[in-house]
A = this chain, B = another copy of it.
């Protein structure tokens, strides 16, 4: 059995609020973080820009974080079945979160993401794979439920070379029982603070007349984010920054 010299973790990163909190929590626990970003043809490419800004923030803060490993796997969108990857399906504006499986659900997404993260963790000899799923806000998604994550933990215990050597990779989903309010509160207490002003949540961004993107404010993800900041009693500085840079265009 090989010794663990450094605590290392792959974190599935999207540029969103949840995965950035997982990065912050693992850095605080002394892990060296290997961010993994997967472009599977989702619409919200603004996330990718956010993610790079977040990594730079942590690198400037002298924490132990590697450059992001970006996998361009846009052919995954050929599988279809979701508004997030199929341009022909419209992203709906929020009606009732958590009642049914939303059209923004991407079949198999977390299984694909965790599989790739486990592979990357195996090659980088990481002990942990971190993922930002939470079951309270996304109860409609089959692959955000605790029993699903538990099943993937079981796979991780068996699937790698590390597993054969008796040091299996551990999947951690530290946000699984938190709502957005709690996540924001936890992240604000991290040292360094989780840079929520750099995170991106919107499923349906609009091009700004002045360049870049602005969130739609109406999709499930925007609604959950706004509710989280309101309940946590914090201003969403990402929106504030948007507003202070330039007057936003009205929605097309």
State the A residues within 8 Å of B (CB).
69, 71-73, 75-76, 78-81, 101, 105-112, 114-116, 118-120, 122-123, 142-143, 145, 147-148, 151-152, 154-155, 157-161, 163-164
Contacts and interface: CB of A to CB of B under 8 A. Distances in A.
Contact of A73 (B75, B105, B111, B114): B75
Question: Nearest 4 pairs between A and B by C-beta?
Answer: A108-B119, A81-B123, A107-B122, A111-B115
A221 to B, nearest CB: 19
A40 to B, nearest CB: 10
A76 B116 contact: yes
Copies of this protein chain in the complex: 2
A101 B159 CA distance: 12
Nearest to A153: B151
A179 B111 CA distance: 29
Nearest to A82: B123
A95 to B, nearest CB: 18
